[in-house]
Every structure is written in C-alpha cells, then in structure tokens.
Amino acid sequence: MHIVDGALSSEVIVTGAVLGVVGVGYGLRKIDIDAMPRVAMMSAVFFVASLIHVPVGPTSAHLIVNGLAGLMLGWAIFPAIFVGLLLQAIFFGFGGITVLGVNTINIALPGFVMWLVISPIIARTDGKMLLMAGFVAGAGAIGLSSMLVGLSLAASGQEFITTAKLVVASHIPVMVVEGILTAAALHLVKKVRPVMLEPAGVLRSAT
Amino acid sequence: MLVRFLISLIAVFSALMGLSMNAQAHSLHVFAMGNGDIIDGYAYFGGGARPRNGEIQLLDRDDKLLFTGTTDDQGEFRLRISHRQDYVIKANSGDGHIAEFTIHGDELSSQLPKAAQDSEITVSEITGTASPPKAPAPIMGMGNKTETDGMIALSRDELADLIDAAVARHVRPLREQLVAYEDKVRFSDLLGGIGIIIGIFGVFAWVKAGRNQRNTKP
C-alpha cells in the first residue's frame, strides 16, 4: 500500500502533494481540543498496525485501519494518516518522503469516503446491520486504497489492469481481516462510548 | 476514559508486537553478492515472502541500464557479468515496491577486466540451477591443473579465485543477517514513534487550548 520513492512519475507526485496539502490543511482546521486525543490515538494505531506484518501467499500484507480511522475521524483522518506516514518514512524507510502526499491521499481518502457514506448509516443502525456496515467500511476502504495505488502506478506508466489486479489480489485477505476488525471495533465503540463516533466540536458544527 | 482506552490499546499492540517477531516493514528488499564473475541474489518482502517474476534491473554506477530480467520461482536471480565495477541491482515487484542494492566491484573476481568508460559490458542471465553455487564459479583458465602425488599445482590467480569463493561463501550468511537486521522494525522505534505522535498532537492541543484561554479572558 505504501508506494516508495522512485516508483511514480513527477506529475503524480505533484498532484498527490497538492491534494495531500489540501486534505491535511483542511483536516487540521477541523480538529478541536475535544477531538485531539482521538486523532492522536488513531494516528498511533495506524502507525503501529501498518508495521505489523503477515506473509500472505507470494507477498506479505499488513493492516491499515483506514476504514476505522475514517469513521472515527472524518476530515481529521488526513492529518492523522500524514503524521503516521511521515514517521514511518523517517524511521523505517517505509514509503518515502517525496511520495508522502500520494500515500496520504491513497490511504486517507478511502477512509474519508467511508465516513461520508457509512457514518450516517451507523448512527441509525444497531446489531447485525451495524456489523455489516463496519465490515463494508473496513473492506471498502482497503479496496478503494488498492484501486488508488493501481491508479497512481498506472498514471506513472505501468499498465493499469495488470497492476491493479496485482495490488487488489494481494489485499483481498487484508480486506477480509480489516472488515471483521472494523466491524468488531465499531460494535465495541458504539456500545461502550458512542460519543467517539460522533463528530466532536468543530467537526460537529461543520456537518 | 479516552486516556485509559489509549493506554490499553498501546498495551494490546505491545503484546502483539512481543508475539510476532517478524514485524518488518512491508517493503521490498534485495540481497545480492558478487562471486567470481557471477552476481547472484534474491528479492524478498519484509515478511519473508519472495516475489515471483519480479523485475530485476542491473545498472552501472552512472545509472545506465545494463540488463533487465525477472526473478525465478524462488525470487532468485543469477547474472554473469563481463567487467569488474560497482553495480546496482534494482528490483520492482510491480505493485509500487522498488528496492535497490549496491554491489561493490571488490566482491567480483580480480581477474575480470576493469570497466572503463567506453567498455562494452555484457550481462547474461544464468537459468536452470536455482540453488546457490556450492563450488566456486569457474573462471577462464581453470580446469587444466597438473596433478603430481596428490598435490595440485594452482596458479596464483586460480588460488586467489578459490580463496575469494570460499570467503564469499562463508561471509554470505553473515551479510544476509546484517541486511535483515537493518531492515527489521524494532520495538523501541515503534514506541518512539507512538511517543512522537502523542507529542505532536499534544503540542497542537496545547497551542489551541492556549488560544482559547486567551480568548475567554475578560
């Protein structure tokens, strides 16, 4: 999921950087003091989860938790993912500095989309439907991310169909695991502390 | 409540990290070594899996592309090169992961001609034998040894090649281990990262809170 330095053409990198700055900037304005711990926590969860690694078939995969992060953060997912990616790039050479914008968009945008689509449903449902919504959010965010990675690579000269197939195929197990994980986490949070799923402070007034 | 949730989450992940020791960056890596006139190595993902049919490129120190091929079923590749110089191996698994590895000219046989600016470097892929070479790579001029009383007369060059090959064979696992160690994600780094994230958002919260306080003062 993390594209490395040197894999993308400069047009894609610049586009990603511009979109990334817009997302992070707008996301930062949406964070207020109430939402701060939540953003920090999801940023840390993303940072750690995407470093834990499971070999899957010919490649190896890791969790990304962008679906869950999106549901809990809304706009604030952009700065949260950005900070996590920045530290991963500096500490582990995981991803890269020049592709930070592209990676931020590839990972955060699907989470944000899930927030737009799934959050209104979550507010109204319970039980099995809630679990279903969580699964869709978790799996859908990974699926969208894979497509975006395929698109980024295709825009840099690789053939889209083969690349997208490769990326999506290697993320199918991750989609399933993330779906289950997001559903479980959503269920737990809604039961224990439903306030965490509601937009806080500025986030609330913005919607 | 939030803080407690955060702490328990970190605790859970700490436990997870303790269990899974193969926590490595999901990046592509390449390992390669020069041995005689052969460069052999393999590409691998952080978790240990190997990319099949991953693209392999051999470049010289000026980034000039010399050879393009693919890895075999085990993610390995073997290339025979004609000149001695520094090479760069690039691997691309096709899904956004690229890795690089530099091979120093010193690792290759000293019998190979040194590459000059205008020398024509030929690279050929060796297929078939997937296992790493047990015997030193045959170098020109070898094989016609004169044997007397069970003693083999070797020329100075042949002896140098044999020693090179033997040392390379013994050093290889050590170098593999070193590279793997360097790529490993360490627990202390993870904790440091979490600390920095909390710190960044803490400072951000502090700045925002300060502004609010000022604003609410009469």
pLDDT tens digit string along A105-128?
999 999 999 999 988 888 787 788
* Residue ranges of A 38-67 with Cβ closer than 8 A to chain B: 38-41, 43-45, 47-62
- This model of the complex carries an ipTM of 0.70
Cα of B190 to nearest chain A Cα, Å: 7
Determine the pLDDT at residue B134.
Answer: 45
B75 in a domain, yes or no? yes
Please indicate, yes or no, if residue B135 is contained in any of the structural domains. yes
Q: Mean pLDDT, to the nearest integer, of B21-32?
A: 62
pLDDT at A85: 92
pLDDT at A77 over 90: yes
pLDDT value at B5 more than 50: yes
- The pLDDT value recorded for residue A22 is 94
The model's pLDDT over B48-83, given as tens digits with 9 standing for 90+, comes to: 677 777 888 888 878 888 888 888 888 888 888 888
pLDDT at position A56 over 50:
yes
> Is B156 part of a structural domain of the chain?
yes
Q: Domain containing B141: what range?
A: 28-183
**Candidate from B26, B49, B193 with C-beta closest to A87:** B193
Q: Residue B21 — pLDDT band, cuts 50, 70, 90?
A: very low
pLDDT recorded at residue B36: 80
Provide the CA A19 distance to its chain's centre, in angstroms: 15
Mean pLDDT of chain A: 84
- Chain A residues in contact with B197 (beta carbon < 8 A): 40, 43-44, 47, 83-84, 87
Residue B195 contacts A where some CB pair is shorter than 8 Å: no
pLDDT for B32: 87
Q: Per-residue pLDDT averaged across B31-35, rounded?
A: 85
Count other C-beta atoms under 10 Å from residue B130's C-beta.
Answer: 10
Q: What is the dihedral angle through the alpha carbons of B199, B204, B207, B210, rounded to the nearest 10 degrees? A: -90
The answer for residues whose C-beta is within 8 angstroms of residue A77's C-beta and 6 or more apart is A27, A42, A66, A69, A70, A108, A111, A112, A115
Question: What is the arithmetic mean of pLDDT over B169-175?
Answer: 88
Position B12 pLDDT exceeds 70: no
A164-179: average pLDDT: 83
User: Rounded CA gap, A156 and A147, in Å?
Assistant: 14
Question: At residue A135, does pLDDT exceed 70?
Answer: yes
Shortest CA distance from A30: residue in chain B: B208
Distance (Å, rounded) from C-alpha B89 to C-alpha B127?
A: 18
Across A25-178, the runs of DSSP E, i.e. the strands, are: 53-56, 59-62
Q: Does any CB of chain A come closer than 8 Å to the CB of residue B46? A: yes
Task: Answer whether residue B1 is part of any domain.
Answer: no
Chain A CB contacts of B22 below 8 Å? 53, 55
Predicted confidence (pLDDT) at residue A174 exceeds the cutoff of 50:
yes
Inform me whether the pLDDT recorded for A166 exceeds 90.
Answer: no
A57 contacts on B by Cβ (under 8 Å)? 49
Give the total number of structural domains in chain B. 1
Residue B157 has pLDDT above 70, yes or no: yes
CA–CA distance, A73 with A82 (Å, rounded to integer): 13
How far is the C-alpha of B49 from the C-alpha of A76, rounded, in Å? Answer: 35
Strands B87-92 and B76-81: unpaired
Q: Which of B3, B17, B26 is facing A62, going by the closest CB pair?
A: B26
B199 lies in a domain?
Answer: no
Tell which residue, A206, A178, A202, A194, has the closest CA to residue A72: A194
Q: Which domains occur in chain A, in start order?
A: 10-206 (1.10.1760.20)
Of the CA atoms within 13 Å of residue A194, those in its CB half-sphere come to 9
Dihedrals φ, ψ of A22, to 5°?
-60, -50
B54 contact A CB<8A: no
Contact predicate A81/A95, CB 8 Å = no
Share above pLDDT 90 across residues of chain B, in percent, rounded to a whole number: 0
Q: Which residue has the higher pLDDT, B15 or A87?
A: A87
- Does B74 reach chain A within 8 Å, measured CB to CB? no
Q: Is residue B4 part of a domain?
A: no
In a domain, residue B168? The reply is yes
CB-based contact B26 A61, cutoff 8 Å: yes
Q: State the average pLDDT for chain B.
A: 74
Query: Which CATH number fits the domain that encloses residue B77?
Result: 2.60.40.10
- Reported as a pLDDT band with limits 50, 70 and 90, residue B24 is very low
pLDDT tier for residue A191 given thresholds of 50, 70 and 90:
confident
Which string of DSSP letters, residue by residue, matches chain B?
A: -HHHHHHHHHHHHHHHHHH-TT-B-S-EEEEEEEEBTEEEEEEEETTS---TT-EEEEEETT--EEEEEE--TTSEEEEEESSBS-EEEEEE-SSS-EEEEEE-GGGB-TTSPBP-TT----EEE--S--SPPSSPPP-TT-S--EEETTEEE--HHHHHHHHHHHHHHHHHHHHHHHHHHHHBPPHHHHHHHHHHHHHHHHHHHHHHHHHHHHHH--
- Alpha-carbon distance of A132 to A126, in angstroms, equals 10
pLDDT in tens, B107-150: 887 778 877 766 777 777 777 654 444 444 455 544 555 566 67
Compute the distance between CA of residue A79 and CA of residue A24 in angstroms, rounded to an integer. Answer: 5
Give the model's pLDDT for residue A201: 46
Nearest to A7 among B50, B96, B196 (CB): B96
Q: What's the confidence (pLDDT) of residue A48?
A: 87
Stronger pLDDT, B102 or B114, i.e. the higher one:
B102
Q: Does some domain include residue B140? A: yes
Q: Per the CB < 8 Å rule, is B23 touching A158?
A: no
Tell me whether residues B10 and A44 touch, CB distance under 8 A. Answer: yes
